[in-house]
């Protein structure tokens, strides 16, 4: 097979999956041992979502996400960022309606309507528009900003066996439906202290997957997660820990490494942070008292 075979015109390269918008089908060339064949593959969908406040009218954030559970993602984002503190603060979440196209919904824009009297501080959202590392943001400032917010203290939480922690990734993988089809999505999952999977959300973005998980609980009125375990499929960053902190999770696990700032946040706020959960091993980075060995 020559290079020209790979660069020619492919009809029907992108086809909408009949099951929804989380994945699409695409024609690909699979190459192995110098031989190539055409086949249909499935790709995780990535599209922008604008979260827009209606009064005053302004964009709160733009994120690249996998469509689906957009209202949960929005609610989780709003709660994690301190824009809303309880379900009553939200009057309505709705897709933008395009008056130019017979009132068609624009499902890449979610309008947020807050209750009268809910006047959140929006300056914290400026970091979602930073594009370089030289714009005055640092880890210390981020931690100090969190410490000034009215965050409920993390509960003592459950005592969880090391064996339970080790089982979490396999349980999560077995329930990652879109990942199994595409190989291209992150996931965030909520477990009880015995390792029973309660909810799982998938997205191309790690932060979005966790926002969907938090938003699901926020809209259902089941926050904070006083006796729950959070597991993310990638690494644990500052934002992953911040969102988990706002949701009240006492134990946060990841299959990959934490960042230095994630560890600092976990230490400062009393979260047990677990990383590199693979097979029968993992690393503990903070507050190990919640993990039982032997």
Active site residues: 135
* Tokens describing residue 232: 């993310």
Summary count for the chain: helices (H), strands (E): 8, 15
**Sheet with 281-286, edge to edge strand ranges:** 197-203, 186-191, 229-232, 251-254, 272-278, 281-286
Both tokens assigned to 269: 């706020």
CA distance 236 to 260: 10
Angle of helix 238-247 versus helix 139-147 axis, rounded to 10: 10
* 46, 38 contact by CB (below 8 A): no
Q: How many angstroms from the chain centroid is the CA of residue 159?
A: 25
Which ranges of the chain would DSSP assign to H, the alpha helix? 3-7, 70-80, 139-147, 162-174, 177-182, 206-220, 238-247, 260-269
Cα separation, 150 vs 214, whole angstroms: 18
- Torsion angle of C-alpha atoms 244, 245, 251, 252, degrees rounded to 10: 40
CA distance 36 to 34: 7
CA distance 187 to 233: 5
Distance CA 33, CA 35 (A): 6
HSE of 126, CA atoms in CB hemisphere, 13 A = 8
């Amino acid at each position: 097979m020559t290079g020209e075979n790979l660069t020619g015109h492919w009809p029907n390269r992108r086809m909408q999956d009949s099951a929804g918008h989380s994945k699409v089908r695409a024609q690909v060339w699979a190459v192995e041992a110098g031989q190539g064949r055409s086949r249909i593959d499935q790709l995780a969908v990535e599209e922008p979502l604008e979260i827009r406040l209606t009064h005053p009218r302004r964009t709160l954030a733009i994120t690249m996400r996998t469509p689906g559970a957009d209202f949960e993602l929005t609610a989780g984002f709003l709660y994690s960022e301190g824009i809303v503190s309880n379900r009553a603060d939200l009057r309505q979440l709705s897709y933008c309606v395009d008056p130019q196209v017979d009132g068609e919904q624009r499902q890449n824009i979610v309008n947020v309507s807050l209750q009268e009297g809910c006047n959140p501080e929006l300056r914290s959202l400026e970091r979602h528009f930073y594009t370089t590392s030289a714009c005055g943001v640092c880890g210390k400032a981020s931690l100090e900003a969190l410490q000034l917010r009215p965050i409920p203290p993390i509960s003592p939480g459950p005592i969880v066996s090391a064996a339970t922690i080790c089982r979490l990734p396999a349980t999560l993988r077995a329930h990652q439906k879109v990942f199994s089809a595409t190989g291209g999505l992150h996931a965030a999952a909520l477990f009880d202290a015995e390792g029973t999977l309660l909810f799982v959300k998938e997205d191309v973005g790690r932060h979005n997957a966790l926002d969907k998980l938090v938003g699901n609980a926020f809209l259902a009125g089941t926050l904070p997660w006083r006796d729950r375990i959070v597991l993310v499929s990638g690494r644990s960053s500052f934002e992953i820990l911040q969102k988990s902190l706002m949701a009240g999770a006492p134990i946060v696990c990841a299959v990959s490494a934490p960042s230095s700032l994630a560890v600092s946040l976990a230490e400062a706020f009393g979260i047990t942070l677990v990383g590199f959960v693979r097979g029968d091993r993992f690393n503990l980075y903070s507050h190990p008292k919640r993990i039982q060995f032997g």
